[in-house]
Amino acid sequence: MALISSFNEDRPVSYFRGYPIYYATLLTIAYAVGIVGTAVCQAAGISLEPFTFAPHRSLFGGQVWQLVTCTFINEPGFFSIFGLLFLYVSAVEVEKYLGMRRFLTLYGLLLATPLVVLTVWMAVFGPSYAYLGNTEVAIGFFVAFCALYPNVQWWGVLPLKWVGVGCFVLALLVYLSRSQWAALCLLCAVSGVAFGYIRMLQAGIRLPRVPRLFARKPRPKIHVVSKPAPARPVSAPKQASETTAVEIDELLDKISKKGLGSLTAQERAALERAREKLLEKDKK
């Protein structure tokens, strides 16, 4: 139950003609634009080196923008569309389960892990190669997807966990056969970070939040006391559980017909309160 995110975080960023748009959707679009931009630059003879990551340039040479641009430099190929589809399916399912904040935290970890590994590799073994592309990000999201849904049948044949293990072993053998030791380290590090992050959340461990440096002090509230009105006979209120059950049934029926975007702010708040009561019962 530790992985259940709040109702507000489960909602899509927006809707396009009734279709939900998640952060994973925006990331996939950004990577598709990166493929087109890479092809245009290559056709125009523009060097892509200023946008790729290399520790001696990006960190020690002051070209810090390469920390962000390197992941969006992807050379187009026949399997590019399949790679984007693979990334989108895995990332969307992970975002639906974790919520937007934890999804973006995982994405940040997947971006930072290759940069840290290559920097350490350069310090120990010397420069290896310029880093670019979204391969490690796609691998990380797929590993997280497998960790969240290990027993889901892939195409109705194999459990997803065995598909993930098979893909990892196959990629490991490819890097071993080519003696690509730096890439092998990236594969192990990214897979370990994605799997470890999901298991950490499932264990109820949370990352520390960054404290606010300029937090405003709450203003004291002024209460105006009015003359009490004469008491009126009050009818017995309905049972809270019965009222909540009726409201939730109506909200779920509305969601099934019109989608989450049709709920008002009051209805979302009511659904969130009902969810918190269910979580409290599960904890007891």
What CATH number labels 7-202? 1.20.1540.10
192-203 core/surface letters (b: 16 or more CB in 10 A; e: else): ebbbebbeebee
Highest-confidence range of 95-104, 209-218, 253-262, 271-280, by mean pLDDT? 95-104
The domain ranges of the chain are 7-202, 251-283
Integer Cα distance of 181 and 124 in angstroms: 13
Which of 245, 281, 113 has its CA nearest to residue 189?
113
- Lowest mean per-residue pLDDT among 7-21, 88-102, 121-135: 7-21
Between 78 and 5, residue with greater pLDDT: 78
Say which residue the tokens 């918190």 belong to: 276
199 band by pLDDT with thresholds 50, 70 and 90: very high
Say what the pLDDT of residue 242 is. Answer: 45
Is the model more confident about 266 or about 51? 51
Q: Is the pTM of this model over 0.85?
A: no
* Burial of 141 (C-beta count, 10 Å sphere; 0-12/13-18/19+): buried
Lowest mean pLDDT, pick from 5-19, 236-250, 261-275: 236-250
The answer, yes or no, to whether residue 229 has pLDDT greater than 70, is: no
What would you report as the CA-atom Rg of the chain, rounded to the nearest whole angstrom? 25
- Using alpha carbons, list the distances in angstroms from residue 221 to 214, 216, 218, 224: 21, 15, 9, 10
**Angle separating helix axes 240-258 and 265-283, nearest 10 degrees:** 120
Please give the sequence-ordered ranges of beta strands (E in DSSP) within the chain, or none if there are none.
Answer: 14-16, 19-21, 153-154, 158-159
Summarised one tens digit per residue, pLDDT across range 151-179 is: 888 777 788 889 999 999 999 999 999 99
* pLDDT score recorded for residue 274: 76
CA 273-248-198 angle, to 5 degrees, is 60
- Strand 158-159 with 153-154, pairing: antiparallel
Of 10-14, 16-20, 241-245, where does mean pLDDT reach its minimum?
241-245
Asked if 132 and 53 count as a contact pair (C-beta separation under 8 A), the reply is yes
Ramachandran sector of residue 166 (left: φ over 0; alpha: ψ -120 to 50; beta: rest): alpha
Closest CA to 259 of 97, 25, 19: 19
Helix (H, G, I), strand (E, B) or coil at 54: coil
Give the per-residue pLDDT at 18. Answer: 75
Token digits of residue 209: 């939040």
Instruction: Give residue 239's pLDDT.
Output: 46
**Cα–chain-centroid distance for residue 66?**
22
Residue 98 has pLDDT above 70, yes or no: yes
Q: pLDDT (tens digit, 9 = 90+) per residue, 56-83? A: 888 888 889 999 999 999 988 888 889 8
Q: CA-CA distance, 104 to 145, in Å (whole number)?
A: 15
Find where tokens 């975080």 sit: 9
CB 134 within 8 A of CB 164: no
Residues 128 and 182: beta-carbon distance below 8 Å: yes
Number of Cβ within 10 Å of residue 136's Cβ equals: 23
How far, in Å, CA of 70 to CA of 119, rounded?
Answer: 14
Average confidence (pLDDT) over 233-253: 59
d(CA 38, CA 3): 37
Higher pLDDT, 244 or 146: 146
